[in-house]
């Protein structure tokens, strides 16, 4: 798996969990104290997120980090 494929897959997982909660990108951004553009970039695989930022997103989505990264 390439780096870009990994970033894309993680982004897809974030979208999947966000939609399960019925949240918009803005809702998720507020929940993890990030701006909406950051969430958009994460979901679209445009950034290389740190493990800590992924943990913040997982906590906001009420899933474990391992669930988020279950690719």
Coil, strand or helix at 33? coil
Sequence-separated (6 or more) residues with CB below 8 Å from residue 63 = 17
> Which structure tokens are listed for 61?
């989505």
Our count of domains for the chain comes to 1
Grade residue 71 by pLDDT with cuts at 50, 70 and 90: confident
Q: Give residue-wise pLDDT tens across range 5-24.
A: 999 999 999 999 999 999 99
The enclosing domain of 53 has a CATH number of: 1.10.260.40
Report helix angle 51-61 to 36-43, nearest 10. Answer: 100
Q: Give residue-wise pLDDT tens across range 14-51.
A: 999 999 999 999 999 999 999 999 999 999 999 999 99
What is the C-alpha to C-alpha distance for residues 5 and 20, in angstroms, rounded to an integer?
A: 23
| Domain of residue 61, residue span | 3-68
Query: How many CB atoms neighbour CB 33 within 10 A?
Result: 8
Q: What is the pTM of this model?
A: 0.94
């Amino acid at each position: 798996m390439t780096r870009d494929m990994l970033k894309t897959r993680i982004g897809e997982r974030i979208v999947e969990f966000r939609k399960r909660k019925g949240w918009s990108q803005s809702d998720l951004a507020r929940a993890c104290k990030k701006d909406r553009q950051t969430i958009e970039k994460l979901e679209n695989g445009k950034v290389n997120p740190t493990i800590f930022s992924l943990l913040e997103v997982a906590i906001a989505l009420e899933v474990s980090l391992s669930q988020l990264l279950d690719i």
